[in-house]
């Protein structure tokens, strides 16, 4: 069961069907395109590719939300303004205000087709069928209940991620420019839409970076049960069959090797010890299997790092230097955004709370630096 609305305005007479109350939709009781007054919204729906009738996994949802940000960022460079960004519970949503007559549904259809051609792949697809005037839309604040909850494929609340205080109407010209960028093949047929996910080939798997740590050898040596590798932001990603930090979390833990060879590991559950709210847990993961291997491999770590940082002054500037040395690879202040950002294992996100966690950890480590000074005086 789901709760849906018609975002575009309908004729007032329809209130006689359900006068501001909820009930189950009967057969042939849905709003028809001819009963809509105007096209007020450009609707963008980002669905992770998966078997039909089931909820998205955490990784699939994250991929869809990341693609949502990418597309909206692209549209803003093309003159679009003021997007509502939402999570459908299983994917991403974007809504932009327009003001078009019902005769312009073909323009909306062409815009969706242009975005589909540019951004859809075998990981996330843009739904090209949401162009019609009476399109249903998931009501934010209600539960998305596709299939049964199973392992990490849980039912989630649809919710608004961000929205402007007010919406400006995007002019027709920006829609026409976007629509003009589509191929000349015309709108996709129903059969083409059904075959879309199989028609596109998977992106090639990037090779392992030269002179980088041998992740695949590490996985094989320790017989770690993972799925992958999968292409991920120019690098490679593995998904654990079972979270190594907390048994029972299911397939929420990940291991990523980026194109430059850097490695990140963690868990998507906020309460898990492997959550990226408390840092990059590649060291912890490797220590589980190799017993402090990073202490041997890294020039400055543990006691050596404590010794180096103990020489810094006990001032605000000294603390800032300590934060940078200990956590600068996953926590930094972005001047352009005027915000603290942390790396969540996939991308940099604004997180004041995450930055505070790293700052608190830096303060706690002062005791380790103090012990080092006592032992060497």
**Per-residue burial over 340-351, b = 16 or more CB atoms within 10 Å of its CB, e = otherwise:** bbbbbbbeeeeb
Q: Which of 107-121, 218-232, 313-327 has the highest mean pLDDT?
A: 107-121
What's the pLDDT score for residue 272? 67
Higher pLDDT: 29 or 162? It is: 162
Range from 19-33, 113-127, 358-372 carrying the lowest mean pLDDT: 19-33
What's the pLDDT score for residue 174? 95
Strand order in the sheet with 159-162: 124-126, 39-48, 92-100, 83-87, 159-162
How does residue 249 score in pLDDT terms, banded at 50, 70 and 90?
A: low
Higher pLDDT: 20 or 268? It is: 20
Can you tell me whether residue 21 is helix, strand or coil? coil
Share of the chain above pLDDT 70, in %: 82
Higher pLDDT: 170 or 350? It is: 170
- Write the pLDDT tens digit of every residue in 318-356: 898 888 888 887 788 877 678 888 876 556 778 888 788
How does residue 182 score in pLDDT terms, banded at 50, 70 and 90?
A: confident
pLDDT, mean of residues 272-283: 62
How does residue 267 score in pLDDT terms, banded at 50, 70 and 90?
A: confident
369 Cα distance to chain centroid: 38
What are the structural domain ranges in the chain?
A: 4-199, 215-297, 303-375
Contact 130, 43 (CB under 8 A): yes
Spell out the alpha helix ranges (H) of 241-314.
282-290, 293-297, 303-310
Nearest 5°: the CA angle 21, 26, 31 is 70
Rg (C-alpha) for the chain, rounded Å, is 25
How does residue 40 score in pLDDT terms, banded at 50, 70 and 90?
A: very high
Range from 116-120, 202-206, 319-323 carrying the lowest mean pLDDT: 202-206
pLDDT, mean of residues 265-271: 72
What's the pLDDT score for residue 250? 61
End-to-end CA distance of the chain: 69
Share of the chain above pLDDT 90, in %: 34
Q: Tell me which CATH code domain 4-199 carries.
A: 3.30.70.1790
Instruction: Say which DSSP state 344 is in.
Output: -
What's the pLDDT score for residue 194? 41
Higher pLDDT: 302 or 60? It is: 60
Higher pLDDT: 23 or 166? It is: 166
How does residue 300 score in pLDDT terms, banded at 50, 70 and 90?
A: very low
Spell out the alpha helix ranges (H) of the chain.
58-77, 105-119, 172-180, 190-194, 196-199, 215-221, 282-290, 293-297, 303-310, 316-327, 352-364, 366-375
Give the chain's mean pLDDT: 82
pLDDT, mean of residues 132-136: 92
What's the pLDDT score for residue 171? 95
């Amino acid at each position: 069961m789901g709760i849906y609305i018609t975002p575009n305005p309908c004729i007032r007479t329809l209130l006689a069907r359900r006068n501001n109350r909820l009930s189950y939709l009967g057969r042939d009781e849905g709003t028809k395109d001819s009963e809509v007054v105007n096209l007020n919204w450009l609707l963008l729906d980002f669905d992770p590719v998966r078997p039909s009738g089931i909820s998205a996994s955490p990784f699939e949802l994250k991929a869809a939300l990341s693609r949502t940000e990418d597309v909206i960022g692209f549209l803003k460079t093309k003159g679009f303004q003021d997007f509502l960004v939402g999570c459908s519970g299983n994917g991403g949503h974007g809504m932009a205000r327009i003001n078009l007559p019902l005769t312009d549904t073909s323009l909306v259809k062409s815009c969706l087709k242009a975005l589909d051609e540019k951004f859809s792949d075998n990981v996330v697809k843009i739904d090209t069928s949401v162009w019609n005037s009476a399109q249903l839309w998931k009501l934010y604040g209600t539960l998305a209940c596709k299939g049964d909850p199973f392992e990490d494929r849980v039912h989630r609340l649809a919710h608004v991620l961000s929205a402007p205080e007010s919406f400006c109407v995007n002019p027709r010209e920006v829609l026409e420019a976007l629509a003009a960028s589509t191929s000349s093949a015309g709108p996709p047929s129903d059969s083409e839409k059904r075959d879309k996910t199989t028609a596109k080939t998977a992106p090639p798997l990037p090779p392992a970076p030269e002179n980088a740590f041998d992740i695949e050898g590490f996985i094989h040596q320790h017989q770690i049960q993972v799925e992958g590798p999968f292409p991920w932001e120019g690098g490679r990603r593995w998904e654990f069959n079972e979270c190594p930090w907390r048994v029972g979390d299911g397939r929420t833990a990940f291991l990523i090797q980026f194109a430059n060879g850097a490695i990140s590991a963690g868990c998507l559950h906020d309460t898990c010890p492997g959550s990226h709210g408390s840092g990059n847990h590649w060291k912890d993961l490797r220590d589980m299997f190799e017993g402090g291997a990073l202490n041997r491999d890294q020039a400055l770590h543990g006691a050596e790092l404590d010794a180096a940082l103990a020489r810094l002054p006990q001032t605000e500037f000294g603390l800032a230097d300590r934060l940078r040395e200990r956590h600068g690879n996953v926590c930094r202040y972005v001047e352009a955004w005027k915000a603290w950002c942390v790396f969540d294992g996939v991308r940099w996100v604004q997180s004041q709370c995450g930055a505070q966690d790293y700052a608190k950890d830096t303060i706690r480590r002062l005791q380790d630096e103090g012990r080092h000074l006592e032992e060497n005086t």
